[in-house]
Structure 1
Amino acid sequence: MVCVRLRGKLIQCAFFVTTLVLFFFHYVNFLNQRKLSKNRYTPNVQTPRLISWKQRSPRRLVFDIDCQRIIGGDKIYLDYARRVMKSKEYEFSNDADMKIKAKHCSRFLEIYDYGYFFLSKEELEFPLAYTILTHKDAVQTEKLLRAIYRPHNIYCIHVDKSSSASLHNAMAAIASCFPNVFIVSKTEDVIYASFSRLKADLNCMTDLLRRTDVHWKYVVNLPSQEYPLKTNAEIVKILKLFNGSSSIEVLSSNKYHHRFERSHKVVGNKVKPTNKKKKLPPYGITIAKGSVYGVFSRSFVNYSLNDVRAQKILKWFEDTYSPDEFFWATLSKNSHLINVPGLFSDGFNGNRLWIAATVSWKDKRNCHGKYVRFICVFGIGDLKELVSQNTLFANKFYHDYQPLALKCLEEWHYNKTLSQIPFDSL
């Protein structure tokens, strides 16, 4: 461009050059930021993200079926949906696919919509921690992570040591895209009903306590086949009412003495009893049984991992059958004897406030899916009842079994996250 000497023209020329320089500077900065963010996602969560009412309107994630009618329990429509699932050939991603997608973090986060959050000040001031145990299927694990992910929370993922290399690689790639998602520092070869199942959770909890970047209030332990029934906002409101107390199922162990009166050992990949009778448990405690899953306050977790009495009790449970079903419940039951913090004061009566997960055991509740190890894998016919539960999560789903079940629950949960009053369903 040629600048003439006339005063007005010189001003016009200077303005144009300045604009051009500023444009070039911002464009270069944009390219640099894009390059830096390609391999790492660092969300800004200093202030709540506001979403307009237009953006908050219900959003369909499933287009070949009406999920609202499925969740409403329309029996005729449920039959139609089953026929659709039976006739349709679904294509599912695998571990290798997930690894490839997660290699390019910015694209991965865009595909799976990780940058779209509505966070209240209340949520930001009440960070949560999660442990996720997985032994197969990165697709299913990612679905759970996406549903519970918030950039101010923190997440520890335990992949079974004996799981496939493809799963380990996929989950490592996914975790690398977030500053607040990490793979546990010590993995276990998890064997059903053995101490390794409990140890996997404890390893993650140990890592979570060591992290200084997020001072979480509670930790929720999850298997990868669970899915949330409550939003993050709802979970925070519920746990604030708990006022530092944990939610742990506590039941009588009278029917299960055979699981802990004799020593057990792992033979092959199964836990079997020996002829060795165990000594009485320490401190005169009463053994209680409960769920593997709970919602544990930070003070309770710290006690469980670091108190000498808790560690002695943990050691006693190492050679029992399914110690993960006894350790948490026993600590809770005997809080008056061993001064366990972060618990309700009424022992067994606290069981009414166990809110961790809805599980449908065989012969105890209806199941419209199928049973695996006596637990219902939920189908579309279970959704109407599930969405009315007061528990935080439902266990369990297979994303490739009656796929509309998890797809429709995902759509329902996503839209509830953006609702005007997220606590109104409780």
Structure 2
Amino acid sequence: MKAGSTIAKLVPVRRTLPQKIFFTIVALTTLTLYYSGYRPVDFMKKSRLSFHKRPETSHLDCGRILRGDMAYIASVATHRPVLRSSEQISSCEEIRSRVVGSAPMKTLAFGVAYARIVYRDYEFLEDELRSSYHSQNYFCYSIDRKANKNFHSRIEKLASCLPNVLITADEYDVDGAGHNMNHAHYACMRLLVRKPGWGYVVLLQICFKFLVRERAK
């Protein structure tokens, strides 16, 4: 070794299993969006969409995460914000502002109907509704019988504020083994079949399933 030279020793970074899973999901999502031709900045400019950040995550730069800034992602992973669930029932004006927004919507060749079994995590459901919302689409919720009173009230409020959100009158005890799942979906389909303009129906279960395509696709 020449005098005055130094050798930097590379030390492998050990990560926990949750961190590895987090990085894997982010990497796969980034690659999928990149190779599908999705560009977050261009999409935002074209659609003029606005997103309501929660107070706990208002400081996060989502663009850096979507662009694959691994140093920033590592910082976020080690200082993850804790989301506090709220049980407050919003007004119709607040709900429409979050879900519908002010951006114009292109006319679709046909709408899509969604039938989802729900029993908790209202805020996730509203976010998912916002990502798929279009005035030509229909969204039916079949509330699991074990859902608590506050959840019932929030879903009922949502349906009262948006004309294309429906709730089934019948409720069933649904579990992870699939008991009564067909009955719950069928109850939604009985309501949806009366609504015009949609071409396909998407059946969604209790677990956290969400769509990765924008509403027009």
Aligned counterparts of 1:64 and 1:76: Cα–Cα separation in 2: 16
Matched, 1:179 2:160: no
Q: 2:94 aligns with which of 102, 107, 117?
A: 107
Aligned counterparts of 1:79 and 1:228: Cα–Cα separation in 2: 26
Shift of 1:233: 1.0
Aligned AA (1:78): I
Aligned AA (1:82): A
Shift of 1:215: 3.0
Cα contact 1:185–1:207 (8 A) shared by 2: no
> In the alignment, what sits opposite 1:233?
216
Matched, 1:201 2:185: yes
Matches within 5 A, 1:36-55: none
Shift of 1:140: 1.2
What secondary structure does 1:195 align onto?
coil
Matches within 5 A, 1:14-93: 56=47, 61=53, 63-85=58-80, 88=81, 90-93=82-85
Aligned counterparts of 1:84 and 1:143: Cα–Cα separation in 2: 23
| 5+ residue gaps, structure 1 | 1-52, 235-426
> In the alignment, what sits opposite 1:344?
none
> In the alignment, what sits opposite 1:217?
199
What secondary structure does 1:150 align onto?
coil
What secondary structure does 1:176 align onto?
helix
Aligned counterparts of 1:179 and 1:141: Cα–Cα separation in 2: 17
Q: Give me the identity figure in percent.
A: 26
Q: 1:119 aligns with which of 105, 125, 136?
A: 105
Aligned counterparts of 1:156 and 1:188: Cα–Cα separation in 2: 15
After TM superposition, the score normalised by the length of structure 1 is: 0.36
Shift of 1:161: 0.8
Rate the CA distance shift 1:59–1:139 in 2: closer, same or farther, 3 A: closer
Aligned AA (2:65): I
After TM superposition, the score normalised by the length of structure 2 is: 0.68
> In the alignment, what sits opposite 2:16?
none
Cα contact 2:48–2:103 (8 A) shared by 1: no
Matched, 1:142 2:126: yes
Relative contact order (C-alpha < 8 Å, sep 6+): which is higher? 2
| 5+ residue gaps, structure 2 | 1-43
Deviations 1:45-87 (A, max 9, x none): xxxxxxxx967468675642222332233332221111221xx
Aligned counterparts of 1:136 and 1:190: Cα–Cα separation in 2: 13
Aligned counterparts of 1:113 and 1:205: Cα–Cα separation in 2: 23
RMSD: 2.5
Rate the CA distance shift 1:223–1:71 in 2: closer, same or farther, 3 A: farther
Deviations 1:297-347 (A, max 9, x none): xxxxxxxxxxxxxxxxxxxxxxxxxxxxxxxxxxxxxxxxxxxxxxxxxxx
Rate the CA distance shift 1:167–1:57 in 2: closer, same or farther, 3 A: closer
> In the alignment, what sits opposite 2:146?
162
Deviations 1:232-277 (A, max 9, x none): 111xxxxxxxxxxxxxxxxxxxxxxxxxxxxxxxxxxxxxxxxxxx
Aligned counterparts of 1:107 and 1:74: Cα–Cα separation in 2: 33
Cα contact 2:99–2:133 (8 A) shared by 1: no
What secondary structure does 1:142 align onto?
helix
Deviations 1:187-221 (A, max 9, x none): 11102214312221122112211x24x23110011
Aligned counterparts of 1:58 and 1:153: Cα–Cα separation in 2: 18
What secondary structure does 1:139 align onto?
helix
Shift of 1:179: 1.0
> In the alignment, what sits opposite 1:190?
174
The higher radius of gyration belongs to 1
Rate the CA distance shift 1:218–1:147 in 2: closer, same or farther, 3 A: same
Deviations 1:79-124 (A, max 9, x none): 1111221xx4x35233x31x2x1xx3123322x1513343323x1x
Cα contact 2:117–2:184 (8 A) shared by 1: yes
